[in-house]
């Protein structure tokens, strides 16, 4: 338990190694499986790659990525006093499986369902990871009152995956998800920008994708246009979550592979995900109807029932109009 960890008095003269070790112990006690600490620096090369990706229009309808892209590669624009970046990874894998059910002919029935991406089965990861990082910051402040920091979990304009690579959590897979040696790509990533100078990890995890192209070959819409590059315009996750268009793009809808919300195909086929241990975070266990969602229930949602069902769920990202658009697109496809 956290209370059992020695509450060392951290002073400006404390050894950075001891401070860093304590922070890592606290993070693990809070449930994080992966933890790394690196210096707060500008992500120069990563920022240039982001600019190139944006210039190719591969961000699709995610126009907010165009706004101040330099901020995403500069931690000081988010937290001017940042000296260190604590990068944490949280395993969210649960062993449940999707079921394939009949659909098509433009009609919903009680058996017609759509698949939901694994990351959205349980409670909203933004809230869970943020809660743990805020608790970590609070514990650090208890031990060093001058400490201060900022929690970042996806919503903030940071390059989560770039920081994860720098901190040695894993490597960037060809599908552009972070892959770890022990949890595959089934991890959520968050950062804590901290005003303390710490001992920094210098472990770089080598890219172990090798010659494997399973994720590229398996993508139903060929959205992985080249290794390490995804065209969001073709991506099922983008089409079913981020897009606000009244109708799904025909070329994506025709190959949506039964996905109502998100898509896990590139992760499902990855060999590194074959032996991921089950998460010990109970809030990631699937909510009722969140592995395979009933299309008839989705189409019958009202603003009130939608708000109640998806409260504190990542699936609220698509909004009721998006979910119902996706359900209609699935019903108009030929049954699998």
Q: Which of 25, 148, 154, 182 is catalytic?
A: 154
Residue 271 φ/ψ, nearest 5 degrees: -60, -25
Cβ contact 151:192 at 8 Å:
yes
d(CA 284, CA 63): 29
Q: Check the CA dihedral 135-39-12-6 and report its sign.
A: positive
- What is the pairing mode between strands 113-116 and 292-294? antiparallel
d(CA 169, CA 131): 20
Cβ contact 82:195 at 8 Å:
yes
d(CA 175, CA 194): 30
Tell me which DSSP letter residue 239 carries: I
Alpha helices (H) in 144-205, listed in sequence order:
160-166
Helix axes 125-143, 16-29, angle to 10 degrees: 140
Alpha helices (H) in the chain, listed in sequence order:
16-29, 44-55, 69-72, 75-78, 125-143, 160-166, 214-218, 236-237, 250-253, 265-268, 295-299, 303-309, 319-331
Active site annotation includes 148: no
User: What is the set of active-site residues?
Assistant: 154
């Amino acid at each position: 338990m956290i209370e059992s960890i020695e509450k060392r008095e951290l002073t400006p003269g404390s050894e950075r190694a001891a401070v860093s070790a304590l922070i890592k112990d606290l993070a693990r006690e809070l449930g994080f499986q992966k933890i790394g600490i690196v210096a707060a620096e500008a992500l120069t090369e990563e920022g240039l790659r982001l600019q190139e990706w944006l210039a190719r229009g591969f961000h699709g309808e995610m126009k907010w990525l165009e706004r101040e892209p330099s901020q995403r590669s500069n931690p000081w624009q988010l937290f001017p006093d940042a000296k260190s970046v604590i990068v944490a990874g949280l395993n969210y894998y649960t062993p449940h499986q999707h079921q394939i059910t009949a659909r098509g002919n433009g009609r919903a029935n009680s058996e017609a369902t759509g698949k939901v991406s694994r990351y959205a089965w349980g409670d909203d990861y933004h809230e869970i990871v943020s809660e743990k990082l805020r608790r970590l910051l609070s514990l650090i402040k208890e031990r060093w009152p001058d400490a201060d920091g900022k929690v970042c979990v996806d919503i903030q304009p940071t390059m989560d995956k770039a920081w994860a690579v720098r901190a040695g959590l894993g490597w960037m897979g060809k599908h552009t998800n972070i892959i770890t040696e022990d949890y595959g790509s089934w991890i959520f990533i968050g950062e804590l920008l901290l005003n303390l100078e710490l001992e920094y990890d210098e472990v770089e995890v080598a890219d172990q994708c090798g010659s494997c192209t399973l994720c590229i070959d398996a993508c139903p819409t060929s959205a992985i246009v080249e290794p390490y590059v995804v065209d969001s315009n073709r991506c099922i996750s983008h089409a079913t979550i981020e897009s606000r268009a009244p109708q799904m793009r025909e070329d994506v809808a025709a190959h949506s592979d039964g996905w109502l919300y998100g898509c896990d195909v590139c992760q499902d086929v990855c060999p590194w995900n074959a032996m991921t241990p089950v998460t010990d975070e109970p809030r990631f266990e699937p909510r009722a109807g969140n592995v395979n969602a009933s299309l008839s229930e989705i189409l019958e949602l009202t603003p009130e029932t939608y708000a109640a069902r998806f409260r504190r769920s990542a699936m609220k990202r698509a909004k009721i109009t998006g979910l119902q658009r996706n359900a209609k697109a699935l019903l108009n496809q030929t049954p699998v």
